[in-house]
Structures are given as C-alpha cells and as structure tokens.
Structure 1
Amino acid sequence: MKAVRVHEPGGPEALRYEEVPTPEPGPGEVRVRLEACGVNFIDVYHRKGLYPRQTPFVLGQEGAGRVDAVGEGVEEFSEGDYVAFASAPGGAYAEYAVVPADRLVPVNVTLVEARVAAAAMLQGMTAHYLTHSTFPLEEGHVALAHAAAGGVGLLLIQMAKMRGATIIGTAGTPEKARLAREAGADEVILYTERDFVEETRRITGGQGVHVVYDSVGRATFEGGLDVLRLRGYMVLFGQSSGPVPPVDLQILNQKGGLFVTRPSLAHYTATREELLWRAESVLSWIGNNTLKVRIGGTYPLAEAARAHADLEGRRTTGKLLLIP
C-alpha cells in the first residue's frame, strides 16, 4: 500500500491510497518494512506543488522499521536490522520503502523504539542543525522560536536549553503555550492575544533577540526582522502560512545589518558523516532521556489525508505519524 499524490490536468490535487507492487532494492539500496512514517510540512508542500515534483509520486521522506532486503553492494546493513531515515527519496507513506543505504541510520531499539525514531529523525535533525550549526546557540544568546509547540519547536526549545540559551516561544492556544513551557521555554507569547513583536521587545528590555527561528513564513517574517538586535539572524526554515514575498535587501541594512538564511535539512546532512553525527546525537539524547519526543497523533496510512488536514489546520502538537 502507498499514499500517492496525483493531479489530473485541469483538476485539483489529491491524495489517493492504492495498492502497488512491493519495490525491489537496486544496487546500493535497502528495502525497509516500515513500522511508522513521519508526517511533515514538506509533505504538504509537495502535495500542493509548492515544491514541484513529477506526478504521480509517493509522499513522505521519513520513516523507521526493519531492513527487509538489501541490494547489491550493501554491506553496512543486513536483513532484520532496525533503521531510520529522513529526507530520503522513494516515498515513506507506504508499507515498504526503498532507501539508499547511505541515507539510513542504525537504530538501537532497546533504547529508542522504531516509532519514536520515526518521529525524531527529520524534526530532530532539523532542530539540531538550527541550534548547533545555522546559528550555534551559546550561553547568553536569546532566541525566538515560532510554532513552539510543533514537532520542531518542542525539540528546538530543549536543545536551546541544552546549550545554555534563553528561548522565547510563540504559540496560538493556551494548551500549546503550556506544552512549550513544559519543554523548557523561558517565555511563551500567545500571539492570538498579544503582538509578538511588542512582547518580544518587552521581554528583552528593548534589546531584541540574537536569532529568530521561523517555520511560519509569510505571517511572521516581517515582524521577526523587527525583533532582531544588531547583526541578528533570521533563520527561515519553513512557510506554513505561505511563502515570504521578495525582500528589499536594503531593509536588512536599515534594521541593523541583519542576516537572513533559508536552510533545509539536506544542506546540513550533505555528507554521511554529518548525517550520522546529527542522527546519532538526537537518538542518543532520546535514549538517555535528555530529549523528549512528543507524538501528537497517529493515523492509519489510509488516513494520510486526515493527518494533512489536521496539520494544516493547526489542530496538532508535536509529531504526527502514519502507521502502515
């Protein structure tokens, strides 16, 4: 079974669930019998065509399960091994996924069960590169994170505190604000009741923050520039509210010599060594209870469309999983 994104000429895009043959691994590839598949906003972008792909295609870039078969030349993994992956081609909304062996990471299921590994890979490594590489947080830094109760947000808050930073989160409901505080946020702004720009300035005594981690995009980007201090960093890593319009670079000068970057996980797992460093860091923190992963909802694979609707409708917290 696979969930396939289709588009009929002249008609709307759709998500269809259908039977397809079990894929066979080629040279350097591994077939994984999936136990869980991660649902991420990049899947929504692919479904809507914001990140165009040739249709039909199988959605999903993240999952975990057991190795079911290995292709020619694969030596690092054997049948029965537990593995996880993120940002891998092939489509994870399925019972089986064929993944390049060099994009898989081993999972010690005595410490981290497969479902938790599936929930942690993409969002955990995203939080890792944001806090450890794009703008490496240190003691004394003050950061603002939008969507603080989302899958990335809750993990980013915890990693920011690991590194000694002060972290301010934004959230849309009191329940989401509570979850962000429980994850370790020093302050949480309920943006439905207060202007996050004014509140951030108040909290920081008018100084602003060193970095904004923004996965929301259109609705928050401009205000985010207004809360940055001199030479601050705007890290835009998503666009759940829509893409950001073109920016006049002179504005960055006017607001204090600001920096803007638009990274993705692929840029920060470009080599196998970097992939393993990030994945093993995240999984080891989960294994020793330093990092908590919140699974906010699980759905049968056949209900992938409902998972997308809940994610887009901001009715979720933490991580969503599909179970084949």
Structure 2
Amino acid sequence: MKAVTFTRHGGPEVLSLSERDVPEPGAGEVRVRIVVSAVNPTDWKSRRGPGELAGPAVPNQDGAGVVDAVGPGVTEFAAGDRVWVLLAAAHSPASGTAQEYTVLPAERLVRLPDTVGFDEGAGFAIPALTAHRALTVAEDGPTRLAPGALAGRTVLVTGGAGAVGNATIQLARWAGATVLTTVSTEAKATLARAAGADHALLYTSGDLAAEIRAIAPDGVDLVVEVAAGTNAGLHADVLRTRGTVAAYGDDRGTGTITLEFGRNLWLNSRYQFLVLYTVGLDKLRAGAQDVTAALVDGALRLGEERGLPVHRFPLADTAKAHEASENGATGKILIDVTPAG
C-alpha cells in the first residue's frame, strides 16, 4: 500500500511517499481503508518535533473511510461500514491517516452516516471536537450539544474564519446560541457570516470591547479563544458574571498569559484550557455523538458557502498539503487517499 512517512522531524520536505505492507488488525482492532485524510495545525507541529522517532511515522490525525477488516473480538463494526476516526496518529506513530490503510482500536472509530460525505467526516474531526469541548465547559452551560442546548446564550468566537472557529460557529448556531465572532479582514468576516455568525467584527479597527458590549450589554456567556494571551485583556471587558473563557490556542502570543486578578475575581470568571489529546476518550466519544448528529442535521458542512473553503491534494502531495496549512491557508485542507467507491 501507499503511505506517506517521515523518519526525522523537520519541514514538509521530510515527508515522502513509500510502499508499506498492509497492516493486519489484532484483537479489538479494525483496519480502515482511508478515503480522505485531513490536515490540521497539530499535524505539522508534530512533524516538526521535538522528540525522537523510534521508526517511520505516518502523519495526520483525522480521516474517514471504509472498514476493510476487523480483528478478533470486534462486533460493533463490519467490513463495508463507513467511519471517521478519533486522533489516529496519537494511537501509534504508524497509524496516521496519510496512508491507504490504517489499523486502530475499535473505540477510536465513529460510524459515518450514509447521508454524510467522507470530506465532512475527515474535515470536522479535530475542529468540531475542539469546538464541542469549548461549548460544553461553562459552569452554567450544557455538557452536551443538541438543538436548543445553548438557547439564550451569547458566544464570542475569536478567529471565526479558522477551522475550529468555523466549526464552533456552526455548532453554536445549531444549538441555538447568538454568535459573535472577531476576524482580521472583511473577506474573513464574509466567511464567518456564511458559517452562521450573527455578528462579525474586525479586531483590527475600532473599540472592540465597546462593539461587543453594544451587541451584548450584559456581557457574553462564553468566549471560545484562539489567541489567549493576546486577548486576555479583552475577556474581562466583555464577559458576564460567571462567564467562561475556553482557550484552545495562543495565536500571536508568547506562551504566557497575564490576567488582571481583581476584575476576574469579581466576575467569578472561569478559564478552561483544552486540548483533545488528554481530554479522555469518554469526552471524545460523547462529543463525536453530538458532532455526528449535527452532521446528519446538515448543521455542519464544508465549502465556501458555509465559510470554510476546501483545498484538495492527492496523497503524493501530502508535503504540499502540510506546507499550505503551515503557511496559513484559510479553509480546510483535505487529501484524497483512495477512491470513495
């Protein structure tokens, strides 16, 4: 089978297309023929290192495809089932989705309904699961998402034109929230509105806190934050009492966040940092159930008409796909691995 591998950390040039033996599933494992793989920033960050590689590694956490074979003891899946995967490359260095077949424990697979495309199954895994976690950590908020779960809530999404920002907007609107988002350009504001944002504000001009308060005079219930350090001062200006900041990124930051103690104290504000790798499989699977429901409802969709342009690459050009992500391409980067049929 064809697989993209790397044997040392570095730039996209360390990725190469090679031939590998098709892996056999062991007890409790499933072999999946990958139809579409997706690239996220975590993929090229992992490729760059640091750390040592014990052997060839296959990149990319997200993907969707068809069950090809099951190992002993697997009863919940059968050959021909359509699935999407949960953090494939985190399972083992050789189990990433930039290859024609991968083997994963059955618990890392999620059924992909027949009405949902492989593109959505691959493209919304990490972004939508991150968004789901961010939208369900508030003290006074729901722990699961469904239509109406966020009714009456106001959510501020920073970076609404990114993949996580886009998924957060779409999921929050599906769950009934009023959504504000901040972006850097009018072009990105157009994408955020296409995703469903009620208000798209430019953080590059004007008094952003005043603009947000004009829309939400009592403050926002939740901030889903991609630039935690840069925006730390904004949070206390726009949060309501007992509001929550769910921080998944530190874009344009230094790795250090400075908070004003007194204002956050009197707000009873809550900061929840989040990353999927350590959130727990139970949280991942619960989020996957809700994300799948949103996909079935048509509430999560790819494409420029939903605010997330798609950029496609063949498997042989995985290095170019990584380079595009690393260079900040707006939209979702997908890799066509095997035919859908």
The TM-score bracket by the shorter chain reads 0.7 to 0.9
> Shift of residue 26 of structure 1?
2.1
Deviation at 1:36, TM superposition (A): 0.4
RMSD, aligned α-carbons: 2.8
Measured against aligned partners, the alpha-carbon deviations of 1:210-230 in whole angstroms (never above 9, x if no partner) come to 221012344334434443233
Residues of 1 paired with 2:205 and 2:4: CA distance? 38
Aligned to 1:321: 334
2:58 counterpart residue number:
58
Structure 1 contact 225–234 (Cα < 8 Å) conserved:
no
Q: Partner of 1:143 in structure 2? A: 155
1:7–1:267 distance in 2 versus 1, CA, 3 Å = closer
Indicate whether 1:132 and 2:136 are aligned: yes
Report the secondary structure of 1:7's partner residue. Answer: coil
Who is 1:7 aligned against? 8
Q: For residue 131 of structure 1, report the CA deviation from its aligned partner.
A: 1.9
> Structure 2: how far apart are the matches of 1:286 and 1:185?
18
Match of 2:112 among 81, 101, 107: 107
Shift of 1:114: 1.9
Q: Is the 8 A contact 2:321 2:333 kept in 1?
A: yes
**Equivalent residue number for residue 263 of structure 1:** 274
Structure 2 CA distance for partners of 1:193 and 1:22, relative to 1, 3 Å: farther
Structure 2 Cα separation of the partners of residues 168 and 285 of structure 1? 20
Q: Distance in 1 between matches of 2:200 and 2:191?
A: 10
In the alignment, is residue 17 of structure 1 matched against residue 21 of structure 2? no
1:84 to 1:12, Cα distance in 2 relative to 1, 3 A: closer
Counterpart in the other structure of 1:31 = 31
Q: 1:75 to 1:286 in 2, by over 3 A?
A: same
Residues 240 and 91 from structure 1, CA distance in 2 versus in 1: closer, same or farther, beyond 3 angstroms?
A: farther
Given residue 286 of structure 1, which amino acid in structure 2 is its aligned partner? L
Matched, 1:95 2:100: yes
After superposition, the Cα gap between the structure-2 partners of 1:53 and 1:151, relative to the gap in structure 1 and judged at 3 Å, is farther
Q: For residue 307 of structure 1, give the secondary structure of its aligned residue in structure 2.
A: helix
Deviation at 1:243, TM superposition (A): 5.6
1:166-185 equivalence runs, <5 A: 166-185=178-197
Instruction: Give per-residue Cα distances to partners, 1:114-134, cap 9 Å, x unaligned.
Output: 222112222222222322345
Q: CA deviation at 1:292?
A: 2.6
Give the residue type in structure 1 aligned to 2:318. A
2:124 corresponds in structure 1 to 120
Q: CA deviation at 1:262?
A: 1.0
Report if aligned partners of 1:217, 1:243 keep a CA contact under 8 Å in 2. no
Whether 2:280 is the aligned partner of 1:280: answer no
Aligned length, in residue pairs: 316
Name the SS of the counterpart of 1:3 in structure 2.
Answer: strand
The question of 1:70 aligning with 2:70 is answered yes
1:191-230 equivalences in 2 (<5 Å) = 191-194=203-206, 196-205=208-217, 207-230=218-241
- 1:164-218 deviation line (CA, Å, top 9, x unaligned): 322111122222211211222111112233454443244334x432221012344
Instruction: Label 1:258 to 1:74 Cα distance change in 2 as closer, same or farther (>3 A).
Output: same
Q: C-alpha deviations, 1:234-264, integer Å up to 9, x for none?
A: 1111234456315468467457332111122
Q: What amino acid maps onto 1:298 in structure 2? A: R
Match of 2:145 in 1: none
Could you tell me how far apart the structure 2 residues matched to 1:198 and 1:313 are?
Answer: 32
Instruction: Work out whether residues 310 and 316 of structure 1, in 8 Å CA contact, stay in contact via their aligned partners in 2.
Output: no
Shift of 1:267: 5.1
Supply the AA of the counterpart residue of 2:275.
S
Task: Please say if residues 29 and 74 of structure 2, whose CA atoms lie closer than 8 Å, have aligned partners that are also in contact.
Answer: yes
Preserved CA contact (<8 Å) 2:228 2:257: no
Give the Å deviation of 1:5.
Answer: 4.1
Structure 1, unaligned stretches of length 5 or more?
A: none
Q: With the length of structure 1 as denominator, give the TM-score of the two structures.
A: 0.84
Matched, 1:84 2:84: yes
- Of 283-292 and 161-170, deviating more is 283-292
Q: Is 1:161–2:168 an aligned residue pair?
A: no
- Structure 1 counterpart of 2:306: none
In structure 2, C-alpha distance between the alignment counterparts of 1:242 and 1:15, rounded to whole Å? 28
Find the counterpart in structure 2 of residue 303 from structure 1: 317
Question: Do 2:33 and 2:68's aligned partners in 1 also have CA atoms closer than 8 Å?
Answer: yes
Shift of 1:57: 2.3
**TM-score, structure 2 normalization:** 0.81
Instruction: Judge conservation of contact 2:236–2:264 (CA < 8 Å) in 1.
Output: no
SS of match in other structure, 1:91:
coil
The answer to whether residue 164 in structure 2 is matched with residue 152 in structure 1 is yes
- C-alpha distance in structure 2 between counterparts of 1:7 and 1:121, whole Å: 26
1:53–1:188 distance in 2 versus 1, CA, 3 Å: farther
Structure 2 stretches lacking a partner, 5+ long:
143-148, 304-308
